[in-house]
Amino acid sequence: MSDEPVLHVKGRVLVGPEDVRDELWVIDGRVSYDRPAGAQDIRTVEGWALPGLVDAHCHVGLGAHGPVDQDVAEKQALTDREAGTLLIRDAGSPSDTRWIDDRDDLPKIIRAGRHIARTRRYIRNFAHEIEPDELVAYVAQEARRGDGWVKLVGDWIDRDLGDLSACWPREAVEAAIAEAHLLGARVTAHCFAEDSLRDLVEAGIDCVEHATGLTADLIPLFAARGVAIVPTLVNIATFPSMAAGGESRFPRWSAHMRRLHERRYDTVRDAYDAGIPVYVGTDAGGSLAHGLVAAEVAELVTAGIPPVEALAATTWSARAWLGRPGLEEGAAADLVVYERDPRTDVRVLGAPLRVVLNGRVVG
């Protein structure tokens, strides 16, 4: 046994939405449901315990103008940790954040490598900007660099058209997704609009970010293929200000962004009702602040997703989707403790009592 005190978490431990235990023990950084024999140095934490929250769309190492230095990336990760986010799917970053893997006080990260975008069709300094004949090679490169995910930019504004449009021809995404799958990686894509979605889903994509362009004819296709969405509603809330900023140059794009924003809650609820997997992601990094996971869960509830399901989208279900454990026996003790039952009021997620990472109380 290590020199760390044994941690005793008592009150209510939400191993799953219906699997509630009275206590757990943390021994050598691992979860145990058996009281350790002979333990003398015990620290007790009381409250409602959840698996560490998941932000499935987050960008550690990314700032408004591209990559940031290590000190800034560390502050981003610490801000997420303080909010209870202990597992991040980094949905595209130009920074090398592998150094975080050696820090047991920072959230665990599952990386998607760097964004892959069409030339001049994304935010400057964020992505590899390439043409369709290069897509397979770059997907293979990022699949090898990442942690089982690759991130495409599926649509962006076409300045000649003056509106959002798909970035890739169908045959290019079919070949690229097939290559990623061959290499054992899943593929996700940034998509605001409608017209890229059918090609991406029929080509075998695994997930779509934002998915504001989901329409009634596309929802059954997503559901039948099991394609997940990460709506990032706290980011979609910025669409009106984005539209206002582009009104003079791109009025068609601005009007489109406003329409997507206006129907955002109906889109998410319709997707959920159809059985499409929905997960929590904030799109932190770039222009959006870190530490917004509680706000995103609340947005899913506002959209009409039942509170327990919105909670699952950042805990039990999200961890299973990403292949990471929750509070199972022997798992790394990554958990967050709250004053009240978050299943009945998700707003409690905004005020963690204690944050435990790798068995140590870090907040």
Fold equal for 6-50+326-361 and 53-322: no
Q: What is the pLDDT of residue 138?
A: 98
Average pLDDT of span 323-334: 98
State pLDDT tens for residues 185-207. Answer: 999 999 999 999 999 999 999 99
Instruction: Note the pLDDT of residue 37.
Output: 84
- Cα–Cα dist 169/135, whole Å: 11
Share of the chain above pLDDT 70, in %: 99
- Please state the domain extents for the chain: 6-50+326-361, 53-322
User: What are the pLDDT digits (tens) for 134-179?
Assistant: 999 999 999 999 999 999 999 999 999 999 999 999 999 999 999 9
pLDDT in tens, 340-359: 999 999 999 999 999 999 99
Q: What are the structure tokens assigned to 208, written together?
A: 């779509």
What's the Rg (C-alpha) of the chain? 21
Q: Which residues pair with 273 in a beta bridge?
A: none
Whole-number average pLDDT of the chain = 96
* In contact, 312 and 17? CB cutoff 8 Å: yes
pLDDT given at position 333: 98
Domain 53-322 in this protein, CATH class: alpha beta
- Helix, strand or coil for residue 51? strand
pLDDT per position as a tens digit, 14-47: 999 999 999 999 999 999 999 998 777 889 999 9
Would you say how long the chain is, in residues? 363
How confident is residue 1, by pLDDT bands cut at 50, 70 and 90?
very low
* Coil/strand/helix, residue 292: coil
Residue 273: predicted pLDDT: 98
């000190």: which residue's tokens? 71
* DSSP letter (8 states) at residue 348: G
Q: How far apart are CA 139 and CA 178, in angstroms?
A: 10
Strand arrangement of the beta sheet that strand 53-58 belongs to: 53-58, 85-90, 108-111
Long-range contact list for 215-221, CB < 8 A, 24+ apart? 216/270, 218/194, 219/270, 219/271, 219/274, 219/276, 220/274
Number of helices followed by number of strands (H, E) in the chain = 12, 20
CB within 8 Å of 169: residues ≥ 6 apart: 132
**Strand-strand pairing, 127-130 and 115-118:** parallel
Looking at the DSSP bridge assignments, the partners of residue 32 are: 25
pLDDT, one tens digit per residue, over 208-240 is 999 999 999 999 999 999 999 999 999 999 999
Q: Phi first, then psi: what are they for 129, rounded to 5°?
A: -110, 115
Give which of 10, 52, 17, 51 is closest to 33, Cα–Cα.
10
pLDDT tier at 3, thresholds 50, 70, 90: low
- Among residues 356, 295, 312, the alpha carbon closest in space to that of 14 is found at 312
CA distance 177 to 321: 19
Q: What is the CATH number of domain 6-50+326-361?
A: 2.30.40.10
pLDDT of 2 higher than 90: no
Average pLDDT over residues 297-322: 98
In this predicted structure, which of 2-16, 180-194, 308-322, 349-363 has the lowest mean pLDDT?
2-16
CA gap 362, 215 in Å, rounded: 43
Give me the residues paired with residue 149 across strands. 186
- Cβ contact 166:154 at 8 Å: yes
Q: What pLDDT is stored for residue 279 in this prediction?
A: 98
